[in-house]
Amino acid sequence: MAQPIIEIKGITRDFPLGDETIHVLKGIDLTINKGEYVALMGPSGSGKSTLMNLLGCLDTPTSGSYVLNGKLVSQMHDDELAEIRNKEIGFVFQTFNLMPRTTALDNVALPMVYAGFSKSERNERATEVLTQVGLADRMDHKPNQLSGGQRQRVAVGRALVNKPAIILADEPTGNLDSKTSVEIMNLFNEIHAKGNTVILVTHEEDIAAYAHRIIRLRDGLIESDNLNK
C-alpha cells in the first residue's frame, strides 16, 4: 500500500503588500507518496515557487496543515525547520549554490557538518556520493574548475549526502545546455530508481516529462494532477 511522505491540507499563503494582502496559495490539498517522482509546473505567478518553499520547509503556511514523513511541520519554529531541512530534504537549485573557494568534496560534505558528523565520516560519505554522481576524479576541484554540468552533479551529491527522504530540485537544468540537461535528468532517474522521492519544479515541458506525475498550478490552486504515461 502506498505510504504518504507529504500530506498537505488546506494550505494557504498570504503576503502583505502595503494595505493589501496578496493571496498566493488559496487552499492546496496534496498527497505525495514515498518513492514518487513528481513535477510541479505552472506559469509565473501560479504559486509554484511559494509551494516549493513550503514543501522544502523554507517557509511556513498562513493556514492549513503540512505533515512531512509523519511530522507536523506547518507549526514548527525556525530551528526545528532547519533540522528537518538538513535531515529530510536534499535541495538542488538552478544556480548550484556551491561554496566557490571550497573543493567538490567539502561542498558535498557541508550538510554533514551541520548534522554533527566527524570529519572522517563526512569525507567517507562525500567520497561515496561523488562517486555515485560520476565525479570520483573531480573531488579536489573547486567550482571554477568544473563545467556547469559537473557543478550541478556536485550540487546533487550535496543533496544526497545526508540520505534525505526527498530530493527537491528547483529548475535544476535552467543554467545548462540541452545535452548536459539530459545527463542531469538521467542522474535524477537513477536517484529515483534507488528509492528517493523526487520533486522537480520546472517550467519546461521536456524536463517535466521525466517525472511520473505532473501537477500544474494556476492562480494559487492545483489546476491538474495527472500521471505521466
Which grid cell sits at 93? 537549485
Show pLDDT as tens, one digit a residue, over the chain (229 residues). Answer: 679 999 999 999 999 999 999 999 999 999 999 999 999 999 988 999 999 999 999 999 999 999 999 999 998 988 999 989 988 999 998 888 999 999 999 999 999 998 889 999 999 999 999 999 999 999 999 999 999 999 999 999 999 999 999 999 999 998 899 999 999 999 999 999 999 999 999 989 999 999 999 999 999 999 999 998 6
The whole-number pLDDT of residue 38 equals 98
**Which of 44, 39, 45 is closest to 55 using CA atoms?**
39
Identify the pLDDT of residue 114: 84
CA 97 to chain centre: 13
Confidence at residue 119, expressed as pLDDT on a 0 to 100 scale? 94
What is the greatest pairwise CA distance in the chain? Answer: 56
User: Domain locations in the chain?
Assistant: 34-58+78-227
Cα distance between residue 20 and residue 36, in whole Å: 38
Give the model's pLDDT for residue 99: 94
Q: Count of H helices and E strands in the chain?
A: 7, 10
CB 15 within 8 A of CB 24: yes
Fill in the amino acid letter for 50: T
**Per-residue confidence (pLDDT) for residue 223, from 0 to 100:** 96
The domain over range 34-58+78-227 is classified in CATH as 3.40.50.300: yes
CA pair distance 198, 92, nearest whole angstrom: 11
Alpha helices in the chain (DSSP H): 48-55, 78-88, 104-114, 119-132, 148-160, 178-193, 205-208
Task: Return the SS3 of 136.
Answer: coil
**CA–CA separation, 149 vs 188, rounded Å?**
13
